[in-house]
Structure 1
Amino acid sequence: MSAGQDGTRTERAPRAVGTVWGLLVLNTLGSAGAETIVPLPRSLIQMVTMGALVAAFALALALNLRLRVRAGAYLFLLSLLLVPSLVSSAGLESGFGALFRCARLGLFIGTLWLLSRWWDGGTTFVRHHIRMYFLVLGSVVAGALISPGAALPDLYGGRLVGALWPLTPPQIGQYAAVVTGLAVLLLLGRRTDRVSAAVVVVPSLVLLVLTHTRTATIGLLVGLALAVGSLVPTSAAARRFFARAALCAAVAAVGFAAALRAWFLRGQDEEHLSSLTGRAKVWDALLAEPRSIGEQVFGVGLGDKSFGGLPIDNSWLAVYHEQGLTGVGLVAAFVLVLGGVALLRPPSLSRACAIFLIAYCALASYTEAGLGDASPYLLHLAVAASLLAAPAPSAALPAPEPPRRRVPRRARQPEVT
């Protein structure tokens, strides 16, 4: 147990909690992506990822046998999301795989409930998040060093992919952006030194550039601007960083405008870019699909986030398709609740990290799916929820006793005989 700045006692999380978090990260890496150096059967990858989730739940349960949890709006609303998922999947319109995905989502949420015992507003889970995703990025670097051709294939237009584990450029870009943003905020909050931050930030930025991922880049810039801006009123370091970042952005916009535009376009023409790389056609077709009242309210069941064999690549439309308007309402509710709580908190490092994660997930939800099922985005928001949680009121330290005043002994009077 350790005392916090507000006079409350917080329970130190066991080291095994980091292992549980790493297993959750492994579960959400997915099984579809680029071709790897050593071909990995998709069934084998799914066994590994599902085994990681089962192990995470079992280990979290062993660490929290008394089932002590911290109730919060995020986990409560996320648990309610299971209702439309089960209702729509029970019809088996999406096959037995929908029920399997419901079980996976339930186990994922249950593990988060068990870990919520150690959500106290500190940066413990931020550090776990950075470490685990930096290890994933390390595997990407290792794959690129072993086989540059497999890591930069022509199939993806020369964009960086995972050559050891099937990771797509958007996945790598997402992990690199989140790791970079959190490491920069820890540096500004003086929770890490410059060397440690540079070891994380520099290679992550290089990987982000090599992925040519526009969504991750915009999410990083906007999320960091909002997070650092929330620290400006109380942090001189944040004010200096904000001023230097604005100056560097202005110089880059003037001196490297052509190079930045070429990187942003990725060789695509304006028409291809305006249709969001073909996403808009899938979205229009999905919205034009005739649906029954039940499908509109509860969706068609949990699937692989695709429509007509093409990825939906939009969290809100994916949730509408699979969990209906009920799911959309619940997802919107927990995103808005987290954002509202973050805005109402006084300036702090925890609040800034939460703002960054919430803003990043909100921006990425427009071109990436994942808010309605077990995914890295739900893990990002779980970290934000842990940062916004307050220490348990029952853990308040007892008031210190006032020091006793020492009363000098009275001199002993001699007896009169």
Structure 2
Amino acid sequence: MSGNPRRGAPPGGPATAVTRPGAEPRPAGTPKIVGIVWGLLILNTLGSAGAKTIVPLPRSLIQMVTMGALVAAFALALAVNPRLRFRASAYVLLLTLLLVPSVISSAYLESGFGALFRCARLALFIGTLWLLSRWWDGGLTFVRHHIRMYFAVLGSVAAGLAVSPGAALPDLYGGRLVGALWPLTPPQIGQYAAVIIGLTVLLVLGRRTDGAGAAVVIVPSLVLLALTHTRTATLGLFIGLALAIGSLILTSAAARRFFTWAVLVAAVAAVALGSLLQAWFLRGQSKENFSSLTGRAKVWDALLAAPRTTGEQVFGVGLGDKSFGGLPIDNSWLAVYNEQGLIGVALVAAIIIVLGGVALLRPPSLQRACAIFLISYCAIASYTEAGLGDASPYLLHLALAASLLATPAEAAPLSLPDVPRRRTPRWARRSEVT
């Protein structure tokens, strides 16, 4: 007989873990279509404004591609999760609450009909995250999707550099690397490179990938990061990695060795290449321009000094293009304050605090280290980059952190068929007595 010897196990197969009634079923693996949905979300957040490309691309065409990617992502996520099964997620819940002040402030149309369009985009973005939350189980599946997709984006940047170095390193951006095939700015490229470098390094330390495969990702990404001259991404990479590896030091010998060697290499580089590093960091700017953060401080002062009504202070002026007076704000907190008011700032702060608090309460693990890296990177970048209040790569980085901090789902409850109990014949009972 091929049935399981354990009592209550169904015949013909191994025993299945039985959980309490009403437990959320655990999906059997992550479907491949989920990776496609994640890639479409990344495509949607690439943006439509940037450097001039080799082949001029109309902005309307780029917006059609990015918005079409978001609609397709939502449709595919709905198709793969038709029963609308979600995982409880404080992160996505806070994002949903952030949508409320966005809609309230955008309804006044102070920022035009584009504000309502951006609200619809944010709603689709959040809805797709809710649908994907079913597969957030604390695993590394989404980390690999993240690295692969952004590495493909960096591949297009490298291809543009090879085809037309002049277009990829234009004088308009001071010789910094831009996207020559798809309009990407130096901060965008630096962000993508820094994030996948940090995640890949952590995968190597956790022995989830080999050194050769990691080098294929890390080495070209480091080159592209250096060509962008992006200080925020570089600082975010080093500080985020230091915090993430520091969380592994007590439990990982590889993390301790890497941290020791990294400190030694940094010390030697600071002594031997100090002048070159300083020149790279300053990017030929004057001290006045550097102290004002390339003119950002002037925009921030003007934004804070502008008169506002009580409603604008509480709810903001509606979702816009993250600019003030025609100039980019380049600060997530001030951009959220301008567009979603003090309520938006409080919700974004709650997102960072909740994710950071959960990460600190988790036991040391590779997933926790990756989450710490992503959270710290986004927190550092928020000072000179906007994006925490609208659909952006930063919200995707934090969504990835939330998926890493999620507890594994419980096994699906086992429902066994009622098998009638066989009655023992009388002659058998008599033989047992004798």
**TM-score bin (small chain):** over 0.9
Q: Which amino acid aligns with 2:409?
A: A
Matches within 5 A, 1:131-146: 131-146=148-163
2:420 alignment partner in structure 1 = none
Partner of 1:265: 282
Query: How far apart are 1:325 and its partner, in Å?
Result: 0.1
Counterpart in the other structure of 1:405: none
Shift in CA distance, 255/159, structure 1 to aligned 2, threshold 3 Å? same
Q: Deviations over 1:225-257 (max 9, x none)?
A: 000010100000000000000000000011000
Change (3 A) 1:34 1:194: same
Deviation at 1:397, TM superposition (A): 9.1
User: Who is 1:21 aligned against?
Assistant: 38
Looking at structure 2, the residues matched to 323 and 306 of structure 1 have their Cα atoms a distance apart, in angstroms, of 13
The SS at the match of 1:102 is: helix
Q: Specify whether residues 235 and 100 from structure 1 end up closer, same or farther in structure 2 by C-alpha distance, changes over 3 A only.
A: same
Cα contact 1:298–1:326 (8 A) shared by 2? yes
Q: Secondary structure at the match of 1:161?
A: coil
Q: 1:236 aligns with which of 238, 241, 253?
A: 253
Deviations 1:166-210 (A, max 9, x none): 000000000000000000000000000000100000000000000
Residue equivalent to 2:355:
338
Alpha-carbon shift at residue 393 of structure 1 (Å)? 3.6
Q: Is residue 218 from structure 1 mapped to residue 235 from structure 2 by the alignment?
A: yes
Counterpart CA distance in 2 for 1:35 and 1:131 is: 25
Q: Is the 8 A contact 2:202 2:366 kept in 1?
A: yes
What letter corresponds to residue 341 of structure 2 in structure 1?
G
Worse overlay, 307-316 or 11-20? 11-20
Give the TM-score, by structure 1 length: 0.93
Q: Percent identity at matched positions?
A: 81
Residue deviations 1:68-91 (CA, integer Å, cap 9, x gap): 110111000000001000000000
Contact 2:333/2:383 (<8 A) preserved: yes
**Partner in structure 2 of residue 172 of structure 1:** 189
Q: Secondary structure at the match of 1:136?
A: helix
Could you tell me the TM-score, scaled by structure 2's length?
Answer: 0.89
Instruction: Find the counterpart in structure 2 of residue 67 from structure 1.
Output: 84
Please point out which of 384, 389, 394 is paired with 1:372.
Answer: 389
1:270 to partner: Cα distance? 1.1
Distance 1:10 1:211 in 2: 41
- Indicate conservation of the 8 Å contact 1:282/1:310, yes or no: yes
Does the 8 A contact of 1:9 with 1:397 survive in 2? no
Aligned 8 A contact 2:26 2:410 in 1:
no
Whether contact under 8 Å (1:9, 1:396) holds in the other structure is no
Query: Which residue of structure 2 lines up, in the alignment, with residue 255 of structure 1?
Result: 272
How far has the Cα of 1:392 moved from its partner? Answer: 2.2
CA distance in 2, matches of 1:70, 1:204: 34
Q: Give 1:350's aligned residue.
A: 367
Alpha-carbon distance in structure 2 between the residues aligned to 1:18 and 1:266: 38
Q: Shift in Å at residue 391 of structure 1?
A: 1.4
Which of 41, 66, 71 matches 1:49? Answer: 66
Separation in 2 of the partners of 1:326 and 1:394?
39
Alignment of 1:187-206 (within 5 A): 187-206=204-223
Q: Matches of 1:343 and 1:108 in 2, distance apart?
A: 27
User: What amino acid does structure 2 have at the position aligned with 1:384?
Assistant: A
Give the structure with higher Rg (CA): 2
Give 1:383's match in structure 2, choosing from 387, 400, 411. Answer: 400
Per the alignment, residue 104 of structure 1 pairs with 121
Please give the alpha-carbon distance, in whole angstroms, between the structure 2 residues aligned to 1:307 and 1:42. Answer: 21
Flag structure 2 segments of 5+ consecutive residues without an equivalent: 1-15, 18-24, 416-434
Residue pair 1:10, 1:391 contacting (<8 A) in 2 also: no
Given that residues 133 and 175 in structure 1 are in contact (C-alpha distance below 8 angstroms), is that contact kept between their aligned partners in structure 2?
A: yes
Structure 1: tracts of 5 or more residues without a match: 399-417
CA offsets per residue over residues 261-320 of structure 1, 9 Å max, x none?
Answer: 000000001111100000000000000000000000000000000000000000000000
Matched with 1:410 is none
Distance 2:412 2:317 in 1: 45
Task: Give 1:155's aligned residue.
Answer: 172
Match of 1:142, SS?
helix
Which of residues 147, 170, 192 in structure 2 aligns to 1:130? Answer: 147
Work out the CA distance in 1 between the residues paired with 2:139 and 2:248: 16
Report the count of equivalent residues.
Answer: 393
Q: Deviations over 1:352-380 (max 9, x none)?
A: 00000000000000000000000000000
Classify the secondary structure of the residue corresponding to 1:67. coil
Distance 2:26 2:86 in 1: 16
In structure 1, distance between residues paired with 2:366 and 2:252:
10
Q: Distance in 2 between matches of 1:366 and 1:224?
A: 18
Tell whether the 8 Å contact from 1:17 to 1:115 is kept in structure 2 after alignment.
yes
What is the identity, as a one-letter code, of the residue corresponding to 2:177?
L
What one-letter code is carried by the residue in structure 2 that aligns with 1:43? S
* Aligned residue number for residue 409 of structure 1: none
* Superposed CA offset, 1:110-129 (max 9, x none): 00000000000000000000
* Counterpart Cα distance in 2 of 1:132 and 1:154: 29
Output the CA distance in 2 between the equivalents of 1:258 and 1:277. 21
| Cα distance, 1:187–1:230 mapped onto 2, change above 3 Å | same
Q: Which residue of 2 aligns with 1:87?
A: 104
Q: In structure 2, the residue corresponding to 1:261 is in which secondary structure?
A: helix
